[in-house]
Structure 1
Amino acid sequence: MNLLNIKMEPLATTKPPFHICLSEELVKRFSLSKDVTVRCSQHSFTSSLAVSPHKENIIYCSKEVYDSLHLPYKPLHFTAQITQNDVSLGPVIGIVTEISADEEAKFGSITSFCYEILQACEEKGAFGAIYCITDLLHDDIKGYIVNEDRWEQVATPLPQIVHNRIHSRKTEHSSSFKEMVQWLTQKQIPLFNAHYLNKWFVFERLAIIEHLKPYLPQTTLLRKKQDITDALSTHPAIFIKPIHGSQGKHIFKVTKDDHKYLLDYTTFTQPYNREYETFYDLFEALYSPLKKQGFIVQQAIELQTYKDCPFDFRLLCHKQNDLQWKLTSIVARVSQPNNFVSNLARGGELYSPKMVLEHLYDQKHAKSILTLLKELAIDICQHLDASTAEDELYVEFGIDLAIDREGKPWIIEVNTKPSKQFQPEHITTRPSTKALVDYCLYSFHSDDS
């Protein structure tokens, strides 16, 4: 394939005698004919070709070309595939999420990420836009782009690959979401990270991998109150977690001693804890919240602490191609004092994993723990990816791992839509965001090859 990064620029004149202009160098390199067709996604425009003496990889197009291709009339960056009489521009990358009326937070907690991924698209030669579900179900597709530092909804071509960043599990079960998935399938448009994976599904898939079993806390699906008493007879403390939960919300921790049961609960505002004299009293307090959705009962690991606060590790992993996974980033998340979850949404703070581990262990031991954590994360991605349905595509996993007081790693959770709220001030585009765009480029060009 003849591929190159190319800039698409508006023609300077509003009434040109021609509609498409390329440099003499590009015309000679690709033996372009007098008439050329410019394509983007499902749209095209054919015109006689003008030649200019400039040497840059720029294609100048009239407003008629932009309008025909359903592109905003502004400088754009693409990866172009050029043949003798054809210039194909792409890919068109879509991010589907919820739209807010708040102009400052147009896409809720991932607003800054949306801006960041559009920047990465431009840097790497792709056109990116943000959509809500209904945007993708209209004949005339419209999406949000950044124009002069403001979000603007414009006509766009049909996306050629779509990243699901819907926040709500309820929305993912809605008829409109299912209609969108069906529509994308009919159009043969890949949708990646198609839905959340529930905790019980993840546990079952990983528990059958023999070498991963030692790193999994003992876990059962909560079906009856006996499951709680059985777990407490084996472990001094347990977690009761919603199988569809995220961000550390609605997790119960039950600790049993000789005389009472202590219940801790994560709320949006502050930790909640109560003591109960009998299991009957404890279960009565739990009954109402537990009947609303599915839960798992899980062994509570006595986690290692940093400055007397429990911590875990978030490892972001991305698919490089159809087979390979790579570790993109790793951070240590330290919980607030007297809190048992470390999620940023619950007040957790980020630290360098190397710094935290070398504070607790000698350099060699710290390095070996870090190496094992990284190997575990990649292993989890590969096995989980292989065990999902054939029509489900996953490109990004957030793997939460922790270590106990002896330094042994434990698998805490796997996220298909890891948090995008944190953005270091000194980094323009995060490696994880670049990795997502890289996969879109790989997928688009491998389909064309």
Structure 2
Amino acid sequence: MNIHYDSQSGKWYQTSLDTAVTIGGMNEILPRKTKKEADFSFDLTTKNGKVGPLIGILTARKTDGTISGNSSLFIQLQKKLLAQKGFSFIFTADSVNGIMVNGYAYLPEEQSWKKMTFPYPDLVYNRIPFRKSEKEKNVRTILADLKAKNIPFFNPCFLDKYQVYHLFKNHSVLQNFLPETNLITGDVELRTFLQKHTSVYVKPTQAAKGKGIFRLRLENESEISFEGLLERKQYQSFAAFWQEQGSNLTEKPYLVQEEISPSRYKGKRFDFRILAHADLNDYRVTGIGIRQSQDQELTTHIPNGGRLLPYHLFQTAELDQFIQLVVSHVGRTLTTELGYFGEFSIDAGISKEGKYYLFEVNAKPMRFDEEEIEELRVTRLCRLFFQLTGFENKRRKRLG
């Protein structure tokens, strides 16, 4: 069904049906006009007296006031949704006014973003890119408002690494794949943990892409080596290390994790980046990328010098089974404990002994460099949008 938008009045309407139809998460009546007087028209799905789905993508503003976020993903989602008779727009928490939302929609024909006024969406996809922004009062208010209005949204929040470890360590399946991890609350815990494992990683509990990570190694009874992304140091004792670095480790939460001796390919460590999406009552693997370290071994992230390898170099039936197993259990556990997760990524690896490990889970996956994974990501997200809003039909269920 074609719906129309009048830029001058900021109103949506339809010209097709004499009977009333609704739009958006609050089921607002879509007014009817006898003739088209709109600037823009879009063909949406009609089901049970409602048109949609109308998808709101929640993001945030930069310090200069401009809107931030993964614009390439937002554009591809809009193109796919329009092809499937859906519609999306981006908005920020400070742009909600009463029952209306001021946002921006990408118009493929014009290859530009258009500022528009929208009803409350049928679903909100949380893509706020900054942890600080997600903690702001207006964001917490809008998320609480969506919950009160029974408007579905995902993902509910960024993840804290230690919180996730705590959830998984008591899980009957996931506990088998976790490296031992502890929260740093003082020098005693870190020293004891280092003495036990001799080589450990230290990470901020709320960071991504390898930011703030470093490795400590106990070289002998007292001497310690420190390796960060940009520097390496030797300390004659743990006390010397703590005197210099301890304040950083107590100002904000850090965890310490045993180093797993990794499996190697052509002499370099590698690990897996796994993208997953919800599908009905379970979770499916969307794509698997391999990242291999090059100049340093702290992290395999591409911005830190890692490189891509194709999954088929390592693929086995056993590895496929492990990945699907952890994807299913991770997704269901996060949703049960923290709120609905429609999308997440996992960092996993294999030790030199052949044991599988689950290292991290990310609630706001960044763009994958593999184009085929990004294409399937858009397909899976759009399918999920239709599922959660009740607009999915039998034909669409067979897609993706």
Which whole-Å CA distance do the structure 1 matches of 2:97 and 2:176 have between them? 46
Measured after TM superposition, the shift of residue 10 of structure 1 is 8.7
Aligned to 2:68: 107
Aligned to 1:62: 36
Q: In the TM superposition, what are the counterparts of 1:22-33 in structure 2 within 5 Å?
A: none
Which whole-Å CA distance do the structure 2 matches of 1:442 and 1:91 have between them? 10
* One-letter amino acid of the counterpart of residue 219, structure 2: D
The answer on whether the counterparts of 1:116 and 1:429 sit within 8 Å (CA) in structure 2 is no
Aligned to 1:39: 22
Say if 2:311 is the partner of 1:353: yes
Measured after TM superposition, the shift of residue 429 of structure 1 is 6.1
Which whole-Å CA distance do the structure 2 matches of 1:375 and 1:444 have between them? 27
Aligned to 1:126: 86
The answer on whether the counterparts of 1:137 and 1:180 sit within 8 Å (CA) in structure 2 is no
Say if 2:172 is the partner of 1:213: no
**Gapped regions of structure 1 (runs ≥ 5):** 1-5, 12-17, 23-34, 50-60, 67-72, 359-365
Which whole-Å CA distance do the structure 1 matches of 2:192 and 2:159 have between them? 26
Aligned to 2:10: none
Computing the radius of gyration from Cα coordinates, the structure with the larger value is 1
Describe the SS at the equivalent of 2:231. strand
Query: What is the aligned counterpart of 2:142 among 180, 185, 200?
Result: 180
Which whole-Å CA distance do the structure 2 matches of 1:10 and 1:174 have between them? 32
Describe the SS at the equivalent of 1:36. coil
Query: What is the aligned counterpart of 2:322 among 372, 376, 383?
Result: 372
Q: In the TM superposition, what are the counterparts of 1:194-205 in structure 2 within 5 Å?
A: 194-205=156-167
Q: State the Cα deviation string for residues 55-103 of structure 1 (Å, max 9, x = none).
A: xxxxxx623xx6xxxxxx3242322115xxxx52111101111245999
Say if 2:263 is the partner of 1:304: yes
Q: Which moved further from structure 2: 394-403 or 255-264? A: 255-264
Aligned to 1:260: 223
Q: In the TM superposition, what are the counterparts of 1:297-336 in structure 2 within 5 Å?
A: 297-321=256-280, 323-336=281-294
Which whole-Å CA distance do the structure 2 matches of 1:340 and 1:231 have between them? 19
Say if 2:44 is the partner of 1:78: yes
Say if 2:118 is the partner of 1:150: no
Aligned to 2:206: 244
The answer on whether the counterparts of 2:282 and 2:328 sit within 8 Å (CA) in structure 1 is no
* One-letter amino acid of the counterpart of residue 236, structure 1: T
Aligned to 2:366: 419
Q: In the TM superposition, what are the counterparts of 1:384-399 in structure 2 within 5 Å?
A: 384-386=334-336, 388-389=337-338, 392-399=339-346
Q: State the Cα deviation string for residues 175-197 of structure 1 (Å, max 9, x = none).
A: 11112112222322222111012
Which whole-Å CA distance do the structure 1 matches of 2:14 and 2:150 have between them? 31
* One-letter amino acid of the counterpart of residue 175, structure 2: K
Aligned to 2:350: 403
* One-letter amino acid of the counterpart of residue 107, structure 1: S
Equivalent pairs, count:
382
Query: What is the aligned counterpart of 1:285 among 233, 238, 244?
Result: 244
Which whole-Å CA distance do the structure 1 matches of 2:243 and 2:30 have between them? 68
Aligned to 1:439: 384
Which whole-Å CA distance do the structure 2 matches of 1:48 and 1:354 have between them? 56
Residues 1:315 and 1:77: Cα distance change in structure 2 (over 3 Å) = farther
* One-letter amino acid of the counterpart of residue 260, structure 2: I
Measured after TM superposition, the shift of residue 298 of structure 1 is 0.8
* One-letter amino acid of the counterpart of residue 444, structure 1: T
Say if 2:186 is the partner of 1:224: yes
Residues 1:48 and 1:8: Cα distance change in structure 2 (over 3 Å) = closer
The answer on whether the counterparts of 2:52 and 2:391 sit within 8 Å (CA) in structure 1 is no
Say if 2:15 is the partner of 1:20: yes
Measured after TM superposition, the shift of residue 7 of structure 1 is 5.0
* One-letter amino acid of the counterpart of residue 40, structure 1: I
Aligned to 1:29: none
The answer on whether the counterparts of 2:58 and 2:90 sit within 8 Å (CA) in structure 1 is yes
* One-letter amino acid of the counterpart of residue 240, structure 1: V
Say if 2:77 is the partner of 1:117: yes
The answer on whether the counterparts of 1:36 and 1:48 sit within 8 Å (CA) in structure 2 is no
CA RMSD, Structure 1 to Structure 2 (Å): 2.8
Measured after TM superposition, the shift of residue 329 of structure 1 is 1.0
Aligned to 1:381: 331
Task: Tell me the TM-score normalized by structure 1.
Answer: 0.78
Which whole-Å CA distance do the structure 1 matches of 2:392 and 2:145 have between them? 19
The answer on whether the counterparts of 2:106 and 2:113 sit within 8 Å (CA) in structure 1 is yes
Which whole-Å CA distance do the structure 2 matches of 1:190 and 1:10 have between them? 25
* One-letter amino acid of the counterpart of residue 318, structure 2: S
Residues 1:412 and 1:383: Cα distance change in structure 2 (over 3 Å) = same
Q: State the Cα deviation string for residues 97-125 of structure 1 (Å, max 9, x = none).
A: 1245999x9534x1211111112221222
* One-letter amino acid of the counterpart of residue 20, structure 1: T
